[in-house]
Amino acid sequence: MAQQKKILRALAGETLPTPPIWMMRQAGRYLPEYRATRAEAGDFLSLCYNSDLAAEVTLQPIRRYGFDAAILFADILLLPEALGVDLWFVTGEGPRMSTTTTTTELAALKPADAIHDHLAPVYETVRILSRELPSETTLIGFAGAPWTVATYMIAGRGTPDQAPAHLLKSESRDVFTGIIDRLTDATIEYLSAQVSAGAEVIKIFDSWAGSLQGQDFDDFSLAPMQRITSALKSRHPGIPVIAFPRGAGTRYIGAHAATGADCIALDDGVSPEWAAENVQPSGCVQGNLKSSHMVTGGDDLVCETRRIVDAFSKGPHIFNLGHGITPDADPENVQLMIDTIRNS
């Protein structure tokens, strides 16, 4: 059955007449059933660490829409918490963390292989999903890329321009590279455990890759993803990997080779026609409908969806958004997108 799963076929390089579909953040606040389950959990972190409820919210969009893949419900900041960083969420404002900016704070982080007890509930969620997902649905595990996770660890929160991380990179290079290296090693351990628990595909999210320039983009976005991908494929031969260096622009060219990934996920800052010409010849691509269409819907959603499907129709393609679906999205627009793809 695994070889018949549409996403695995696309990741293996097959051009399908209808692209497989899933959405980043497809289990989330735009769905009333998600909001009810989160209320049951009590708070966001409790939901992430409750294996039964995390599996439930992962399954909700599969039941509602029949996506071709489910992505594990978790958060990219669970990994630094497992390394010993304090993590909490402020309602309406997002995550807060104790900062890691000094040699002493770096030394206090746990070793990469000491994360598993803390993350055991996540692995159990994967095992539940591996049992309960429909046989045709692919299970995707994931982690944040080292650069993106480091930006939160250094600033103690999300920032608009990742300035604290860039400052540490220029002023305390040893500490900065030490954080990147520790996160790279820990991410390998984390994702390998997800695969062992049943994940069939891995996605690496480098949401802030676009703020890196020049050699820094190579050294701190592409190179860590390549290390992670190489290690996973060595430990788990045949495991497909999707890399998402969001905001890469023209640097999407060559990203398959630079990361070793089977698929490059595209944000909506590049046109599908450009990406079909410049990125897709190297392998599978994923994307890249603007998330705002899930809010506004209508003819623009239908036309843009058809445009993307048509642009990528000559090579392997997984349909997705250019970034995560937003809480103000209309669930009916998601169905309209799916119907447009599958019925055209």
With cut-offs at 50, 70 and 90, classify the pLDDT of residue 281.
very high
Picking from 83, 77, 86, 84, the residue whose alpha carbon sits closest to that of residue 48 is: 77
- Token pair recorded at residue 29: 């606040």
With cut-offs at 50, 70 and 90, classify the pLDDT of residue 92.
confident
Contacts of 47 (CB under 8 A, 6+ apart): 37, 38, 41, 53, 54, 57, 73
- Determine the average pLDDT of the residues in 230-248: 98
pTM above 0.85, yes or no: yes
Is 153 in contact with 163 (CB distance < 8 Å)? no
Catalytic annotation, residues: 25, 29, 38, 75, 152
DSSP 3-state of 41: helix
Give the model's pLDDT for residue 1.
Answer: 47
CATH (domain of 75): 3.20.20.210
Burial class (CB in 10 A: 0-12, 13-18, 19+), 203: buried
* Beta-bridge partner residues of 264: 243, 285
pLDDT at 2 over 80: no
Residues of the chain above pLDDT 70, percent:
99
Give the model's pLDDT for residue 91.
Answer: 84
Kindly report the CA angle at 285 between 280 and 291, in degrees rounded to 5? Answer: 130
For residue 109, the enclosing domain spans 2-343
- Determine the average pLDDT of the residues in 233-237: 98
pLDDT at 344 over 80: no
With cut-offs at 50, 70 and 90, classify the pLDDT of residue 3.
low
- Please provide the average confidence, as pLDDT, over all residues in the chain: 97
Q: Which region among 88-92, 220-224, 253-257 has the lowest average model confidence (pLDDT)? A: 88-92
Instruction: Determine the residue type at 207.
Output: S
Q: Hey, how many other C-beta atoms are within 10 angstroms of the C-beta on 169?
A: 22
Please count the structural domains in the chain: 1
DSSP 3-state of 86: coil
- Determine the average pLDDT of the residues in 188-200: 98
